[in-house]
Amino acid sequence: MKRIFLLLLIVVTVQISAQTDAENLKKIYDNSLTNGMSYQWLDHLSNQIGGRLSGSLNAEKAVQYTKEEFETLGLDKVWLQPVMVPRWVRGAPEFAYIETSPGKTTNVNICALGGSIATPEGGVKANIIEVATYKDLEALGEAKIKGKIVFINRPMQANLINTFEAYGGCSSERYRGAQEAAKYGAVGVIVRSLNLRLDDYPHTGSMSYGDLPNSMRIPSAAISTNDAELLSGMLALDENIKFYFSQHCKKLADVQSYNVIGEITGSEFPNEIIVVGGHLDSWDLGDGSHDDGAGVVQSMDVLRLLKESGIRPKRTIRVVLFMNEENGLRGGKKYAEVAKSKGENHIFALESDSGGFTPRGFSFQSSEAMLTKIQSWRPLFKPYLIHYFEEGYSGADISPLKNDNIVLAGLRPDSQRYFDHHHAANDTFEHVNKRELELGAASMTALIYLIDKYGTDTINAEVQLKD
């Protein structure tokens, strides 16, 4: 009899709690859509500050601005975590053309890849050889490559629904192209922009020379997809055409910067830490609105939306605005290093770094039991058209926190338009939709609310009753 009563009590409690959960989620979404701050913060970050490459004055302005905004939210703690970051500067704009015969040239749009060296004074002009991937270089060898510019023309795969998979399929061409081509005596590398549509914007992104000595390093740039098609077409007609490019970028000494951190300390389990974040730095061509201004302001609004919705977290919710994701990940590494040295117990981390588009759900790196538990919350998200709760990569900044104990998660917005803007001059504020951004902030807050309430311990009530 006593046992039946206990079971009944649990059923009733679960039902009441589900009701309050639905009500609390509604409050969170209502607040974000009617009274959210994410769009206003993004406006400032994008239009008053702009592109925030690590080590730049703008990156430091963004540190100060977000810290000041945190301070207005009445949080329990706000602080800056120092971190040394690389400093690479683009210098004067790049210039490039295709020369079909002496004096007959067509200008094309390029941008230096982050981390690349400059061209020699006066630029580089040479014959150009097209490959589909850097792996083709070995077969061509020095005989075909020496003294030429290598053009890596690998389009992103269009039939993949998750465009991040298409990005992953070709990002190593950009990252490794120069180090591989240099081994065969190439004098420069031009990489097709990682963009699924045809347009005139070149897309930057990080590249690496690996262990190559300075004397072997060659300049590397991205070309717009329209111009990649043009160049490929011209090469098909005449393989003796020449390509010219000049760029003036350089790497300076590391400088000190900061991760910006704001926290609501847990009322019952302050030592169980839940991290939410995005990265404060961005590339320099646009204003970094989607990558990752959106993730920054959504993360900031998680703390505010919890407060506005009258939710006092049991566990510590810490928002971290990571510095230097784009060209070093120093902020993510530093945060994890400090957390480890302090013996902090991080139970969950959520990153938003996939653009400010309509949220679809979340990806998780977790145990199967925990994923099943999270998937049981699906009905709560149904009214908001959030349905995707699957295993998958979470995000770069939180990945150094990975251990057996923590659950990592990533906000997964619709990804179809993301690579139209990613790392290009058109990653700007007008391409972010206010409601889409706010729905993302609300979805993140809703997930954090549930994680905080139920924890990440997967031993459920029924199991406890049997004991």
Binding site for Zn ion (CB under 5 A): 291-292, 353
**What are the catalytic residues?**
325
> What is the closest distance, in whole angstroms, from the C-beta atom of residue 348 to Zn ion in the complex?
20
* HEC readout, the chain: CHHHHHHHHHHHHHHHHHHHHHHHHHHHHHHHHHHCCHHHHHHHHHHHHCCCCCCCHHHHHHHHHHHHHHHCCCCCEEEEEEEEEEEEECCCCCEEEEEEECCEEEEECEEECECCCCCCCCCEEEEEEEECCHHHHHHHHHHHHCCCEEEECCCCCCCCCCHHHHHHHHHHHHHHHHHHHHCCCCCEEEEECCCCCCCCCCCCCECCCCCCCHHHCCCEEEECHHHHHHHHHHHHHCCCCEEEEECCCEEEEEEEEEEEEEEECCCCEEEEEEEEEEECCCCCCCCCHHHHHHHHHHHHHHHHHHHHCCCCCCEEEEEEEECCCCCCCHHHHHHHHHHHHCCCEEEEEEECCCCCCCEEEEEEECCHHHHHHHHCCHHHHHHHCCCEEEECCCCCCCHHHCCCCCEEEEEEECCCCHHHHCCCCCCCHHHCCHHHHHHHHHHHHHHHHHHHHHCCCCCCHHHHHHC
Is the CB of 173 or the CB of 353 nearer to Zn ion?
353
Is the CB of 282 or the CB of 366 nearer to Zn ion?
282
